[in-house]
Structure 1
Amino acid sequence: MLTKKMEEAINEQIKWEFYSSYLYLSMSAYFQGLGLPGFATWMEAQYQEEVFHAMKMFKYVNDQGGRVKLQAIDQPEQEWKSPLDCMEFSLNHERLVTKRINDLASLAQEEKDHATFIFLQWFISEQVEEEDTFGDVVSKLKLVGDGGGLFMLDRDLGTRVFTPPTKA
């Protein structure tokens, strides 16, 4: 059973995960507008992944006898200076998500909520992957610049498909 403090904190993170999905969908639209359909597809997969994260938490709160209370989602950014600026923004966003997940894990320890602490380990590992993935794209964008390499990277990113983890 979740403590009230833990339930409220996870509800806030559910909102944040849905905001993240909304942000990545906005980025997909931005890339479509630039004529970079591969980047747009990549961000659509990221959008789906964030919805998966939110729903994983949604289900956990319900399974633990808590109550999910959905909150208003802020409007995401819609414009960036360049594809690199957009991806650096995403990387910084994921670093903030990592901090938030780590704070949830710390709260679970303070509340002596061992089940939630274990549940959050999946998200902690996921955030290591998220930061690595975005960091890799940022590094590649810095290497290719705005030239023809951008279109090769666009083609490469367009192959990404969201596949939900088998053990969710």
Structure 2
Amino acid sequence: MKKKMLKALNEQINAEMFSSYLYLSMESYFQSISLTGFAAWMRAQVQEEMMHAMKFYDFVNERGGKVTLEAIDKPESTWDSPLAAFEAIQKHEEHVTNLINDLVDLAISEKDHATNNFLQWFVSEQVEEEASVGEVVEKLKLIKDNPSGLFMMDAELGKRVFTMPAATE
């Protein structure tokens, strides 16, 4: 693996770890305001982001590269409202989509077909991530300050459970 690609993949591992850390911070925020369904949704997201980091980690190792772990930035810990938290998630996921797209562009320019192929799963995953978060944002906008709506949303989000995706050959 070329050095430039290896460096970029190591940076992505850090970005995925930060995502996991950010969602863990959000889980704590939702626990602190007694929205346990929102917190459960975040816990599933924490696990998903950690799985993403490990997919990159394993790929780098499979390709004979060396994983270099760096410090993870401190995430925010409070938000003005559940809507503000999910809008922050939406912005963050758009950022991650840009990071993945940049990796794809680099893989193409480096003629690294194996990495490009690997990254296509993440391209599809980011479409799903943005759609999922966007749906919650739109529902929270409809709810506004309605406590009944918020409690119903809390119950709905609490049903989410992380499921490890099936291995693909």
TM-score tier after normalising by the smaller chain length: over 0.9
Q: State the Cα RMSD in Å.
A: 0.6
TM-score by length of 2: 0.98
Confirm whether residue 67 of structure 1 aligns to residue 30 of structure 2: no
Instruction: Give the drift of 1:34.
Output: 0.8
Instruction: Give the drift of 1:167.
Output: 2.0
Q: Residues of 1 paired with 2:90 and 2:63: CA distance? A: 32
Instruction: Give the drift of 1:145.
Output: 1.5
Instruction: Give the drift of 1:144.
Output: 1.1
Match of 1:8 in 2: 7
Look up the equivalent residue of 1:141 and give its one-letter code: L
Confirm whether residue 20 of structure 1 aligns to residue 19 of structure 2: yes
Q: Residues of 2 paired with 1:130 and 1:30: CA distance? A: 21
Match of 1:156 in 2: 156
TM-score by length of 1: 0.98
- Superposed, 1:13-52 pairs within 5 Å as 13-52=12-51
What SS class does the counterpart of residue 75 from structure 2 fall into?
A: coil
Instruction: Give the drift of 1:108.
Output: 0.2
Q: Residues of 2 paired with 1:89 and 1:151: CA distance? A: 21
Q: Residues of 2 paired with 1:103 and 1:56: CA distance? A: 18
Q: Please, which runs of 5 or more residues in structure 2 have no aligned partner?
A: none
Look up the equivalent residue of 1:36 and give its one-letter code: L
Instruction: Write the deviation string for residues 6-25 of structure 1: whole angstroms up to 9, x where unpaired.
Output: 00000000000000000000
Instruction: Give the drift of 1:146.
Output: 2.2
Confirm whether residue 134 of structure 1 aligns to residue 156 of structure 2: no
Instruction: Give the drift of 1:3.
Output: 0.5
Q: Residues of 2 paired with 1:145 and 1:156: CA distance? A: 16
Look up the equivalent residue of 2:6 and give its one-letter code: E
Q: Residues of 2 paired with 1:65 and 1:146: CA distance? A: 53
What SS class does the counterpart of residue 25 from structure 1 fall into?
A: helix
Q: Please, which runs of 5 or more residues in structure 1 have no aligned partner?
A: none
Q: Residues of 2 paired with 1:86 and 1:100: CA distance? A: 21
What SS class does the counterpart of residue 65 from structure 2 fall into?
A: coil
Instruction: Write the deviation string for residues 30-51 of structure 1: whole angstroms up to 9, x where unpaired.
Output: 0011110000000000000000
Instruction: Write the deviation string for residues 84-141 of structure 1: whole angstroms up to 9, x where unpaired.
Output: 0000000000000000000000000010000000000000000000000000000010
Look up the equivalent residue of 1:152 and give its one-letter code: M
% identical equivalent positions: 59
Q: Residues of 2 paired with 1:159 and 1:79: CA distance? A: 23
Q: Residues of 2 paired with 1:167 and 1:8: CA distance? A: 26
Number of aligned residues: 167
After the TM superposition, list the runs of 4 or more consecutive aligned residues in structure 1 that deviate by more than 6 angstroms: none
